[in-house]
Amino acid sequence: MCGVVGYIGSKEAAPILIDGLQRLEYRGYDSAGIAVLSGGKISSSKEVGRLANLEKMLAAEPVKGTRGIGHTRWATHGAPSQINSHPHFSSDRAVAVVHNGIIENYAELREELTAKGYKFISQTDTEVVPHLIQQALKDGAKSPVEAILTTLKRLRGAYALGILFRDEPDAIYCARKGSPLIIGLGEKENFIASDVPAIINRIKKAIYLNDGEMAVLREDSVEICTMDGKKVVPEIKEIKFQAEAAECAGFETFMLKEIHEQPRILRAMLDKHVSAEGKIDIGSSLSPDYFRKLNRIMIVSCGTAYHAGMYGKLLLENLTGIAVETDLASEFRYRDPKIDPGTLIIPVSQSGETADTLASIRMAKEWGCKVFAICNVEGSSVVRESDSVFFTNCGPEIGVASTKAYTAQQMAFALFALYVAGVRGNLTPDQVKDYLADLQEVPDAVHYVIQKKDEIKAISEKHHDGPSSLYLGRKFNYPTALEGALKNKEISYQHAEGYAAGEMKHGPIALINDALPVICICTKTSDEVYEKMLSNIKEVEARSGRIIAVATEGDTEIAKLAGDIIYVPEVRDEFTPMVNVVGLQLLAYYAARARGTDIDKPRNLAKSVTVE
């Protein structure tokens, strides 16, 4: 959601803050601002819209100083406006604050502070924080740390805070609960950021703040304590990403770059987790015996990761015989699921900071369940709170619409399902090797689809102008239909609906006419699903729908029905979703380009949903 950055060192802070905020644009925002401390004064600049607007303001009216904080705001409380933009100040302008999260009890705190004479100029929940810090100092807090800790104890909700004090020129402060925040360690300079990509070009080491911790950053030191004031010895992590991983590297957008990275990432996952002898290593601390006795799995996730979880459910049930459920983390945490301690919880998250997924993990831990996460970001909250983790190792995914993280999550599920099926005896060692041989074909098949991007582009340009589209799939490719529709609506803003093809006659068929593109995922299968899909396509044809098929290379039958076809190589049924979805990613990509949208930063969306 919102992005937070901070800097203390010997360099001018403003350019560093702006650079960091630019690298956080993928998180989504509607306004931006910075505050810089110099000469006993905190100067700030704030502007609505893209960062370019703020840069223009700073070019006309520079702010000087070597310590500062910055923010990109994704509106929750109060409309996008200059007044509601961060940083926010105490009434005496001695304290400046930037904040990612939601202060749930802000209304009662605001009422209390108003009664004490504090004037609020914004509609935000954040503005209570600098006023509370000011009040704590008035009430006798002996230091900024004491004032901050006093304030944090009053707050309910989630926050990642960056704080400047006018009268403390040698330090910047930060605190974290529920929203991600890292501390970047430099040479005679230090940083704070919501995510590693913001400062990846400036650091080699970082500290991932834990919930309930605050820190004091000086040029040459970092001190961390808990909410009770107890000192913490931090764990310093090496940053494994290269700075180039967060650059476009010659591609017109990050999304297009990330689509092209998928064959390499999938191949790297296979190389890492499958030995030359055909043994699968999922890197789990859970024993083979645990999986032999396991009788239930619950997969919880949000958005694109939920579609990966649906695919995982189908694979696991098909290969292992274990009962598997999937649920949206945002729903799972509010219902009363009947979960016993013997259930394995599998959270799936690219960022490792999705608020609802984290809440689901914490519920599961309270029930005594083991948690096996599928995640991309080492050091993230999901990773730290899980018993075991399968890392997808995609590198930074900057485009808001997930591509490479999705197919990597699918590959993780494929390897996990084969491993569990092997240790449980559902598959013999030779059968596992046969599956792995077929899985090894997937990266090349994905590369083949990407090479057909010009053909896919032509199809997108032919059909992008309609108000809506329908995506149909069955069995393993029902989640693919959902994901294809999601990609389209995310970046092209065309309404798109994904449906199980067998449900078409239960409502969606009423929408079909000669203006509606219907994307049918109809790759050949070893069972009757392919023939069922052909029947669905004929029903669309009978109603003059504009049929776009994803079909197996060499399929002549489909050519008799579909006006446009995205051909993909033949791979094993269970693994077709990893290949088929890439065609749909490109279809959405070129539709968005034809419609002139902001592909990497689509409106209203944020890469990581770190608040409810």
Q: Would you state the pLDDT for residue 610?
A: 57
Mean pLDDT value of segment 495-500 = 95
Nearest to 183 by CA among 164, 168, 161: 161
The mean of the pLDDT values for the chain is 93
User: What's the average model confidence in pLDDT over 26-40?
Assistant: 88
Active-site annotation holder among 2, 174, 394, 520 = 2
| Angle, in degrees to the nearest 10, between helices 576-595 and 404-424 | 170
Cα–Cα distances in angstroms (integers) from residue 585 to residues 404, 405, 487, 532, in the given order: 10, 12, 6, 24
pLDDT of residue 247: 72
With 70 as the cut, is the pLDDT of residue 327 above it? yes
CB atoms within 10 A of CB 504: 20
pLDDT digits (tens, 9 = 90+) for 374-432: 999 888 889 989 999 999 999 889 899 999 999 999 999 999 999 999 999 999 999 99
Q: What percent of the chain has pLDDT over 90?
A: 82
Kindly report, residue by residue over 549-595, the tens digit of the pLDDT: 999 999 999 999 999 999 999 999 999 999 999 999 999 999 999 99
Label residue 111 by pLDDT band (50, 70, 90).
Answer: very high
Mean pLDDT of all residues in 429-445: 97
- Quote the pLDDT of residue 50: 87
Look at residue 601 in the predicted model and tell me its pLDDT.
Answer: 87
Tokens describing residue 495: 């309404």
Report the share of the chain in percent with pLDDT over 70.
98
Q: Which domains does the chain have, with CATH numbers?
A: 3-246 (3.60.20.10), 249-440 (3.40.50.10490), 448-612 (3.40.50.10490)
Global confidence as pTM? 0.84
Choice among 21-30, 189-198, 452-461 with the minimum mean pLDDT:
21-30
Question: Per-residue pLDDT averaged across 133-138, rounded?
Answer: 97
**Residue 109 in this model has a pLDDT that exceeds 80:** yes
pLDDT at 250: 84
* Confidence class for position 249, pLDDT limits 50, 70, 90: confident
Note if 607 is an active site residue: yes
pLDDT at 137 over 60: yes
pLDDT in tens, 274-325: 998 999 999 888 999 999 999 999 999 999 999 999 999 999 999 999 999 9
First vs last Cα of the chain: how many Å apart?
10
pLDDT at 26 exceeding the cut of 80: no
Asked if the model's pLDDT at residue 195 lies above 70, the reply is yes
Per the model's pLDDT, the better-predicted residue between 240 and 522 turns out to be 522
Work out the average pLDDT over 89-112: 95
The structure tokens listed for 182 are 């890292």
Bridge partners of 101? 159
Q: Catalytic pick from 313, 404, 487, 607?
A: 607
pLDDT, residue 334, reads 86
- Answer yes or no: is pLDDT of 207 > 70: yes
Cβ distance 388 to 245 under 8 Å?
Answer: no
Total number of residues shown for the chain: 612
Contacts of residue 64, defined as CB under 8 A and 6 or more positions apart, other chains included, come to 12, 14, 36, 38, 43
- Beta-strand relationship, 95-103 and 157-165: antiparallel
pLDDT band at 248 (very low <50, low <70, confident <90, very high): confident
SS3 192: strand
Q: Comparing C-alpha atoms, which of 308, 363, 379, 353 is closest to residue 331?
A: 363
Does residue 597 surpass a pLDDT of 60?
yes
